[in-house]
Amino acid sequence: MKTILVPTDFSKPAQWATEVAIGIAKKAKATLVLLHVIEQPTEDSFNIEGQAALAEDWEGKLFTMKLIEKSKEQLAEAAAKTEEQGLNVKTELRIGNAFHGIRTIITDHRVDLVVMGTAGHTKFERMLIGSNTEKVVRYSKCPVLTIHEPPGEMNFKNIVYATSLNDREKSFAEIVKKAQEMFGSTIHLVRINTPSVFQPDHIVRKVMETFAKKVNLKNFTINISSDFSEEDGIIDFASTVNADMIAMATHGRTGLAHILAGSITEDVLNHSAKPVLSYVTKDSYE
């Protein structure tokens, strides 16, 4: 891991995400990229030298220029605090669509991990902050770690890996294993039985053992739990084992397919107090 991106709006959740990213960057000896996007009603984003996103009227331009100067100061302050931790820090300031800006920086800086704060506990907060987080989780080409509450001790000793046990999680399993190696974690592999999707425990356990062998998991436990929904089951199990992180692959569906099928990962990240590590899977076992 060489580069970690932290999109920030300078809110409390963004500050929590920065703290977590600093802890990970120290372990990985990675560069931290702090990104702020001054949101404008456009589908694109531009760097601060570009004029395309600036308002046409002089009052609008003046207001935007003031926002730019204030944002520069806030980014510089955040970068200085991070550099005090002995880390290499880069800053990016863009104007336009926040999601577009995040995707652009992920590509430009070859980002290995995105760490984002999210305030997804109320409908209003999800609309303002969570929507961008959900889009990044759904479309990002790299893993995304969402932070929901002030971080405690940065250890991630217990990682709950909620798996669908399908043949598309090889790449994500490697990501979880890297996190385990970095923090010396125990992985708690869990499968949730629900009234609508139920299999006998002995069958599920055998499939989980096969999965663990295929992806070469070490220092792990196998767990089968039952609940009315997978989302509730994952969150409850994570609380039971005092998890420091929940790891979940997401299908990355978009459009009508996403509306019809939804995403358990997005449901969990919207309602869990635990950090959630997610990644869009595309591959299969060889």
Q: Give one DSSP letter per residue of 245-256, joined into a string.
A: EEEEEE----HH
Phi/psi for 283 (5° steps) reads: -100, 175
Q: What is the mean pLDDT of residues 137-144?
A: 90
Distance CA 107, CA 177 (A): 24
Report how far Cα 86 is from the mean position of its chain's Cα atoms.
24
* Coil/strand/helix, residue 23: helix
Tokens describing residue 23: 């802890």
Phi first, then psi: give them for residue 156, nearest 5 degrees: 50, 45
CATH number (3.40.50.300, 3.40.50.620, 3.50.50.60, 3.40.640.10) of 3-147 reads 3.40.50.620
pLDDT digits (tens, 9 = 90+) for 155-206: 899 999 998 887 778 889 999 999 999 999 999 999 999 998 888 999 999 9
Per-residue buried b or exposed e for 215-238, using 16+ beta carbons within 10 Å of the residue's own CB? bebeebebbbbebeebbbbbbebb
Q: What is the pLDDT of residues 258-276, one digit of tens each?
A: 433 347 888 898 889 999 9
The class of domain 158-280 in CATH terms is: alpha beta
The three-state secondary structure class of 220 is strand
Range of weakest confidence among 81-95, 102-116, 155-169, 260-274: 260-274
**Using CA atoms, how far apart are residues 64 and 121, in angstroms rounded to an integer?**
31
Residue 135: its pLDDT value, please?
84
Residue intervals of the chain classified under CATH 3.40.50.620 are: 3-147, 158-280
Q: What is the pTM (predicted TM-score) of this model?
A: 0.88
Q: Please identify which residue in the block is written with the tokens 């510089």.
A: 76
Contact 278, 248 (CB under 8 A): yes
Is residue 71's pLDDT more than 90? Answer: yes
Helix crossing, 131-139 with 264-271: angle to 10°? 140
pLDDT attached to residue 72 = 93
Please give the Cα distance from 212 to 201 (Å, whole number).
16
